[in-house]
Amino acid sequence: MEEDTYLSILKKYWGYGSFRGIQRDIIESVGNGRDTLGLMPTGGGKSVTFQVPALGREGICIVVTPLIALMKDQVDNLRKRGIKAAAIHTGLSREEIIVTLENCIFGNYKFLYVSPERLATEIFQTKVRHMHVNLLTVDEAHCISQWGYDFRPSYTRIAEFRSILPPEVPVLALTATATPEVVKDIQRQLGFREDNVFRMSFARKNLAYIVRHTEDKFGELVHILNSVQGSAIVYTRSRRNARETARQLAAAGFTTTFYHAGLNHAEKDERQRSWQKGQTRVMTATNAFGMGIDKPDVRLVVHLDLPDSIEAYFQEAGRAGRDGQQAYAVLLHQRNDRTKLMRRIPDTYPALEDVRQIYEHLCYYYQMAMGDGLNVTKEFDLDEFCRNFKHFPVQTDSALRLLAQAGYIEYTEEQENASRIHFLLRRDELYRIHELEQEQELLIQWILRTYGGVFSDYVFIDERRIASLSKLTPEQIYHHLLALNRTRILHYIPRKKTPYVTFRCRRVEKERLAFPPEVYEDRKENLKQRIQAMLHYAEETDFCRSKVLLHYFGEPDAQDCGMCDICKEKTSGKHSPEENDSIVTLILSIVKEKKECPVSDIRFNGIDQERVSQILHQMLEEETLILQDGFLTIPSA
């Protein structure tokens, strides 16, 4: 391909006159058919690195990404630029999925976004064999590494999926957070044909990293929000804290809302939209919020709790200042944070004897006989299970994940089931009802036009699909269906999130359960190291915050940023209150001993004289000391 072809594509669709950073290097590597790993910080322009080369070649680019919201945003952005793109996700009916895949075969799309789970389905693999695929892109590629902070077993299916594609189709892996160990593992897991990595420095010259040590986190948060204007994200570990912090901030006069994984789609969309438009200033959230959020003018990201890893912190903090303007990432730290974070290790990796006991209780829960259970799938109620067998939910959830990684079960947390309806009246009885509201009549008409068999059995429905056809909102449809359910016209079972357990092996005695080192011991040690690195960052008092972060990601030659609290303290001469108090005590002891002490006598070995002079000046202003004729004295009571 001619050298300026990629640039002409960039100008035509994005209006830019040049590439940024390592974008051109990655694009040319992929264009030459090479497997490529791109390490680019949040806001570095990752999407351009696969969209431009894919547009320059015949065929379609398959993009693997974990979040539906991310898929929708990217597809919408491409379509606005006149580029044909589609996404397959759980919100589509089977018919819509098949139509989309057929259109990909016929060449009607340039980009197809899918989840990693989709790659393993038979229908998807069958259809892909007939597509002209020019590139496979894996976003959030750190998820494929068991040494990454956000390992997802579904990502390990990507390497198997590659075998379906022609051998000349390259893979582009992209991530904003990867240690040198994870970089190697990503390439191995994806079957790279060569070691081929492009790194963009993770340094953010406009982002000041700050750690505040305080025992009053909420009070400090209010002070920070009053000091730094503009859009803000406040991260907290639990859903309850996200909700409570939002309530307290609203009471303090801030426009705020909260976001976590337990909200329904409509609530998430509404709150995210309000925040992105600037109608809400502060978003308090768990780590469920942020991936794929395209809001460049976030001025402040505050963490009320310590994340489990530097990777998680770096990615979340990096959502501030993507427009290149001054922004702040503030971590609030108090004395008991170390204890709370270290508790994550036994919570995530319970004792193996406890894991074995939970497996046995799981078999009791389903009345599974020894030797039975192969490929049996059951709904799982975590709260009920823990009540029945006196287990703690956090450790139980972790134990189930360990059993899944060891191959004994498959644990699907909160899989979303589609809504179901069944008409309780016959069709002729339905037409004789006159008490229905106009919107209810319209809703029934669209259900009957869209779905068959609703009078004979339960049928899965999609409220969003009906909404797009009927012009009613999903919320209106939900409330009307509930009303029709109450009047016994139909039976409506709303969409719900339900965990599932599938037994991948026949039941065995708990003593025979085996957990290889790479499932338990090695990963437990890896988590311990990540937590220690996070604690080191929070408790560091001598080295530049940015330098500590960059060193973690394999940039040993990073320079001091000049903006973090450590760098500011060095340049301004500020020190901790305890250190300053000790100098005050030394000064008072000398003056008290001499009664009348020359200023020139106030000197101490190992303490910078300028610092001593500043403290002395402050003591005189506060009248802790009196200066007269060049002599210091302690004022009489």
Using the structure block, give the residue that is written with the tokens 């229908």.
123
Using the structure block, give the residue that is written with the tokens 């015949």.
58
pLDDT for 575 equals 62
Q: How many domains does the chain have?
A: 5
Last residue of a domain, one of 199, 232, 249: 199
Residues 37 and 131 in one domain: yes
pLDDT in tens, 38-62: 998 877 788 999 999 999 999 999 9
Beta bridge partners of 420: 460, 493
Cα 37 from Cα 144, distance rounded (Å): 13
Please tell me what DSSP assigns to residue 635: P
CATH, residue 364: 1.10.10.10
Q: How far is CA 590 from CA 584, 598, 616, 629, in A?
A: 10, 10, 13, 18
Cα 547 from Cα 393, distance rounded (Å): 38
**611 lies in a domain?**
yes
Of the candidates 131, 140, 139, the residue with the CA atom closest to the CA atom of residue 110: 131
pLDDT for 176 equals 85
Number of H helices, E strands in the chain: 26, 22
Cα 218 from Cα 216, distance rounded (Å): 6
Last residue of a domain, one of 160, 177, 199: 199
> Where does residue 76 rank: exposed (0-12), middle (13-18), buried (19+ CB within 10 A)?
exposed
Cα 320 from Cα 135, distance rounded (Å): 31
Residues 55 and 181 in one domain: yes
Residues 447 and 581 in one domain: no
Q: Return the ∠ at Cα 235 (arms to 349 and 154), rounded to 5°.
A: 45
Of the candidates 464, 483, 486, the residue with the CA atom closest to the CA atom of residue 475: 464
Domain range for 172: 5-199
Residues 279 and 393 in one domain: no
CATH, residue 426: 1.10.10
Residues 212 and 327 in one domain: yes
Of the candidates 307, 323, 331, the residue with the CA atom closest to the CA atom of residue 527: 307
Residues 195 and 215 in one domain: no
Residues 376 and 424 in one domain: no
pLDDT for 53 equals 95
For residue 597, what is the enclosing H or E element?
A: strand 597-598
> Where does residue 161 rank: exposed (0-12), middle (13-18), buried (19+ CB within 10 A)?
buried
Residues 229 and 312 in one domain: yes
Residues 181 and 271 in one domain: no
pLDDT for 87 equals 93
**447 lies in a domain?**
yes
With H, G, I as helix, E, B as strand and everything else as coil, classify residue 33.
Answer: coil
Length of the chain: 637
DSSP 405-468: HTTSEEEEEEEEEPEEEEESS-HHHHHT-----HHHHHHHHHHHHH-S-TTTS-EEE-HHHHHH
Using the structure block, give the residue that is written with the tokens 């391909």.
1
DSSP 543-589: S-HHHHHHHHTT-TTPPP-S-SHHHHHHHHT---HHHHHHHHHHHHH
pLDDT for 472 equals 87
Residues 172 and 235 in one domain: no
Residues 270 and 157 in one domain: no
Token pair for 172: 């582009």
**524 lies in a domain?**
no
For residue 632, what is the enclosing H or E element?
A: strand 631-633
- Kindly report whether the global pTM for this prediction surpasses the value 0.85: no
The alpha-carbon radius of gyration of the chain (Å, integer) is 30
pLDDT lower than 70: segments of the chain: 1-3, 90-91, 291-292, 413-417, 572-576, 608-611, 613-614, 617, 621, 637
pLDDT for 354 equals 97
**70 lies in a domain?**
yes
CB 13 within 8 A of CB 84: no
With H, G, I as helix, E, B as strand and everything else as coil, classify residue 283.
Answer: strand
For residue 331, what is the enclosing H or E element?
A: strand 327-333
pLDDT for 280 equals 96
Q: Could you tell me whether strands 496-503 and 377-379 are parallel, antiparallel, or unpaired per DSSP bridges?
A: antiparallel
The crossing angle, in degrees rounded to 10, of helices 310-317 and 521-539 is: 50
**253 lies in a domain?**
yes
**42 lies in a domain?**
yes
Residues 73 and 150 in one domain: yes
**160 lies in a domain?**
yes
Buried b (16+ CB within 10 A) or exposed e, 24-49: bbbbbbbbeebbbbbbbbbbbbbbbb
pLDDT for 414 equals 61
**38 lies in a domain?**
yes
Cα 582 from Cα 14, distance rounded (Å): 59
CATH, residue 537: 3.40.50.300
CB 536 within 8 A of CB 548: yes
Last residue of a domain, one of 486, 519, 552: 519
With H, G, I as helix, E, B as strand and everything else as coil, classify residue 157.
Answer: helix
pLDDT for 580 equals 80
